[in-house]
Structure 1
Amino acid sequence: MAYKIVFFDIDGTLVNEEKEIPKDTLKAVSELKQNGVEPVIATGRAPYFIKPLAEVLGIDSYVCLNGAYVVYKGKTLHKRPLSKETIQALITLAARNRHALVFEGEHTYFADSENHPFVTESVDTLKVDQPGYDPEFWKNNEIYQMFLHCESHEEALYEELLSQLRLIRWHPLAMDVLPPGSSKAKGIEAMLNMLGISTEESVAFGDGLNDKEMLELAGMGIAMGNAHEELLPYADYVTSHVDEGGIYNGLVKVGLI
């Protein structure tokens, strides 16, 4: 199979735990582009979180916010915001449970609590600026994803809303809140359809629970050596650790560099 496009997760895939891009990853992406294959970022992060990284890598196309917001070469292709009714229902339930929320819009993000320790701790791991404080931000802006700050044993408190939204844990204190059925794979499909590229002609690299659908969709799904164990059954191949040439070795394995 002649692969034409490669989708890369960020955290644990393009960058390591220190949020640094390994030198061999930079080299691998550069060689991939030289060989005429399109690199695309596919991440749970918002667009405003990835711009410095994308610029360093020379990538201008991305599937962000777990597939809810898709851009190809600077042009927005796909948007899927959460409904206002769903957001209001979650706000009501989270307030009852005393759990903090963060609203992620197209250009910025805000929390409904000031200096909440769960928000501070989880967002700090992303090494980005903390959200501003504006509990009303969602009313006048499209919200593509939210953070719900609770511990794993408290997830059952939100079961009544699972027909209206999707929850994916990314930190011991935080979960992504997505539109129902949303995933990186849905955003990738939107991009592939626009480009006229089949899923069989795509490769995807990932390491986390939100990468399951993406790896399953791609013609070649590659899990990092440091991937969550629950991701491995969805991968066609497991490469080495992010800090041990994982991207480079994976691209060599599939014959793209």
Structure 2
Amino acid sequence: MAKLTKPIVFFDIDGTLLDDKKVIPDSTKKAVRLLQDKGIQTVIATGRVPKMFYWIQKELNIDSYVSMNGQYVVYQGKEVYSNPIDPSVLQSMAAMALRNGHALAYCSHEDYKVNEKNHPFIEASFDSLMMPYPEVDKDYFNQLSIYQGHLYCSEMEAQRYIDRFADFSFVKWHDVAYDILPRGASKAIGIRKLLDVLAIEKENAFAFGDGLNDIEMLISVGTGVAMGNAVPEAKAVADVITTSSSQHGILNGLMKVGLLEESLAL
């Protein structure tokens, strides 16, 4: 298959497509629409479960995504890559969490469920997303393939899980919440799988992000763009730093890298 030269752009959600109020700025809607009008493919790349961003897909007319930190990839509505976690490992984690008063969440391609009700760390982390407390189902990992877990505990306590489950990575996304992924899994892996399917060279791939789980993604593409509100670690590896998500960061970044015209400046 011949390599395609048309650019493709990957967007993180929280702190990138969404501003600090968890809404999509008008300038971002405009920027994404203009990319699509030019035939440039737009893809969501997130740690979230698909159910958590359907409304964003609809609002931005994006039907391709790298979800759950690269564990489940969809192109134009069709699954192109998935990497489920062994249920027996999740069962071991659940037993350890129960003994220590911690909590877990299980993320499938359809939904996400937690194993404890009214847990303060779950409440705190979902409050930060401005989302309601998830449904409780302690046995969810035995019902559907699970691609990502969440661990809810303090940073000091998380080290016990890191030591116990050496084949997994625990990526912090809140003071008391961690994504649980097979070691080596990342948005970058999911992006590479999609680029391979589409026969697009990485030099024609762009990515926008702000968090710790965006670092590999920003490095793996031809041009990585860190938001102005990004963590220092993401800014350090980015090729370009734009303004914050609340200050037209997507539009400004796309102009900086030459995908949109400078005349669009607000």
Give the 3-state SS of the residue equivalent to 1:96 in structure 2.
Answer: helix
Could you tell me which residue of structure 2 aligns to residue 61 of structure 1?
64
Equivalences for 1:65-144 in 2 at 5 Å? 65-144=68-147
Q: What is the correspondence of 1:173-192 to structure 2 with a 5 Å cutoff?
A: 173-192=176-195
Aligned-residue offset at 1:139: 1.3
CA contact (8 A) 2:162 2:168 kept: no
Number of equivalences: 256
**Match 2:49 to one of 46, 50, 57:** 46
Determine if contact 1:35/1:256 at 8 Å carries over to the other structure.
no
Which shows bigger deviation, 234-243 or 126-135? 126-135
Give the match for residue 214 of structure 1: 217
Match for residue 29 of structure 2 among 26, 30, 36: 26
Alignment of 1:192-211 (within 5 A): 192-211=195-214
Partner of 2:10: 7
How far off its partner does 1:92 sit? 2.1
Aligned-pair identity in percent equals 44
TM-score normalised by length of structure 2: 0.93
8-17 or 121-130, which deviates more? 121-130
TM-score, normalised to structure 1, is: 0.96
* SS, match of residue 169 in structure 1: strand
Please report the RMSD computed on the Cα atoms of aligned residues, expressed in angstroms: 1.2
Q: Is the 8 A contact 2:162 2:169 kept in 1?
A: no
The SS at the match of 1:25 is helix
Q: Conserved in 2, the CA contact under 8 Å of 1:3 and 1:203?
A: no
- TM-superposed CA distance for 1:124, in Å, is 2.2
Letter in 1 for 2:221: A
Q: After superposition, give the CA deviation of every residue in 1:204-247 in whole Å (9 maximum; x if it has no partner).
A: 00000000110000100000000001112210111111111111
Give the letter aligned to residue 239 of structure 1. T
Shift of 1:130: 2.3
Rounded Cα–Cα distance in structure 2 between residues aligned with 1:246 and 1:106: 29
* Unaligned segments of structure 2, at least 5 residues: 261-266
- Tell me by how many angstroms 1:141 deviates: 1.4
1:3 Cα deviation from its structure 2 partner: 5.7
Q: Is the 8 A contact 2:66 2:187 kept in 1?
A: yes
SS of 2:69's equivalent?
Answer: helix
Once residues 134 and 241 of structure 1 are traced to their aligned partners in structure 2, the CA distance between those partners, rounded to angstroms, is 37
For 1:249, which of 235, 249, 252 is the aligned residue? 252
Residues 162 and 170 of structure 2 are in contact (CA less than 8 Å); yes or no, is this contact kept in structure 1? no
Which residue number in structure 2 is paired with residue 171 of structure 1?
A: 174
Q: Which amino acid aligns with 2:166?
A: S
Please list the CA deviations of residues 100-157 of structure 1 after superposition, one character each: whole Å capped at 9, or x if unmatched.
Answer: 1111112112111112111122112223342211111111211111110011122211
Cα displacement (A) at 1:162: 4.0
